Every structure is written in C-alpha cells, then in structure tokens.
Amino acid sequence: MTYLDAVRSEWVKFRTLRSSTYTMLVTLVLGVGMAVLFASGKGRGFRRLDAAAQAAFDPTEAGLTGAVLLAQVAMGTLGVLAITSEYGTGMIGASLSVVPRRGRVFGAKALLITLISLVVGEVVSLASFLASQMILSDMDVPSASLGDPGVLVAVTGTGGYLALVGLLGTAVGTLIRSTAGAVVVMVLVTVIFPYFFSPLLPPAVQMFWPTMAGMAVLSTSLGAEVPPYGPLAIMAAGVAVATVAGYFTFRTRDVSA
C-alpha cells in the first residue's frame, strides 16, 4: 500500500468517527463564542483605558485571543483522538495489518490531521474575526478589517496555530496512548502553563515555549523586526520535536503494551 493509499485509509476512518465531527463543530462554536465574549469584554473596558492604552488597542488580537482560548483545547483533542481512539478500541492492530509499515501509518495520520486542522482552524479564525469585529463596531470601539495592515497575517496565522495544535495532539496521543491523559497534557501545554504560569517564567522560556511563541501571531503589532508568521516557525520547531518523538515511539513500541 502506497503512502497516498494510507492517507485515504486514514481519511475513511476519520469520517466514520462521530467524535471527529462533533469535535470539529465544538471547535467552531467555542472559537466564535469565546471571540464574541472577549470582544464584548474588551469593548466595555475600552472607555476606561487611558489614552496610551486606547492607542495601543489591537482589535484583531482582542477577538482572536478569545477564539483560541478554548478552540485550541478542542483542536488538540481532535488530534489526540486520531490515534488514541484506535488504541482504545484495539483497531490499531487491524490498521497495521493493512499497512505494516508503521512509519507510513503515523505519517498518514499526522498529515491528515494537520490538513484537517488547518482547514477547520482557518474557518474558526475567519468566523471569529468577523464576529468579534462586528461586536466591537456595534459598541463604537475601534475595529479592524481584513485589509488593515497585519490583519490577514494574524487571521491566517491563527488558523496555522490551531493546525499545529492539532498535530501536537496527535504526537502527544501517540506518546501517551490514553485519551484522558493526552487531553490533560494538551490542556496543560496550551492553557494552564501559558495563561497561569507565564508571568513566573523567564522571558527566554516564554519566547520559546511553543504555544506561547505561536500565540504571538494573533497580534498585528509585532514590529517590523519580526517576520510574518515568525512566531509560528518557533512553534512549528517545538511541535516537530514532539512529532519526531511520536514517530519513533510508534515505530518501536509494541502496540499491545
């Protein structure tokens, strides 16, 4: 079986899992819903800001930050389920009997989840951006459009961020094999650690922690010295390390262990 055949096989399995459809819908609902809530909160607080803070207000980041908060957990769960669902049901043995080359199976899963996560992520990002800017505009607070400087990079970069989270979920799921355990790790990596412990960390750690680095792409005010999608490159490097670890683990570990 060729690599393309393996990808097709993974696509068939993905489509037959109800949890996949539900998780994608949850990602969209959480993303747009939280973007609207965050935008509403930022809009209400805008009048209380001093002149300097109002001038620095980034309406794009205000909406996309809310969109990512919980959508990344759902997207990470989607990536986790791509591998742990087969371990949970014992289907992983059947998959490897059809495609004996383990590296090819893992590569097919990783590619498929990355592509699906990218499509879903871009839809969530665009819908969240449009909804949040509509809220800010209705509140007579500065809002943004896709044609404004840096906005398109932020919106598409947010979709890329979510795609990388999906791939990271697959890598973590491969390493841990437990759905519950892998989801807990993803919550720690994407939410708990960045949002609650980042103030305690040295700047260098904040800069290179994959999800914290990646989230910088949500802003339109990174500065000319930061290349477009530069934060995602740092995140991608970290995700690549986890993916390589998952690849070698999948190739060498007994599927029944």
Sort residue 150 into left (φ over 0), alpha (ψ -120 to 50) or beta: left
pLDDT at 5 over 90: no
pLDDT in the model for residue 257? 54
> Distance between CA atoms of 90 and 111, rounded to whole angstroms?
22
The reported pTM is 0.93
Query: Between residues 221 and 238, which one has the greater pLDDT?
Result: 238
pLDDT at 1 over 90: no
Query: Between residues 205 and 107, which one has the greater pLDDT?
Result: 107
- Evaluated on CA atoms 138, 63, 59, 151, the torsion sign reads negative
55-111: pLDDT as tens digits: 999 999 999 999 999 999 999 999 999 999 888 877 777 777 777 788 899 999 999
Residue 121 identity:
G
Check residue 147 and report its DSSP letter.
Answer: T
Average pLDDT over residues 45-61: 91
pLDDT at 34 over 60: yes
> Distance between CA atoms of 70 and 73, rounded to whole angstroms?
5
163-181: pLDDT as tens digits: 999 999 999 999 999 999 9
Average pLDDT over residues 130-136: 97
211-220: pLDDT as tens digits: 998 999 999 8
Report domain extents, the chain: 3-252
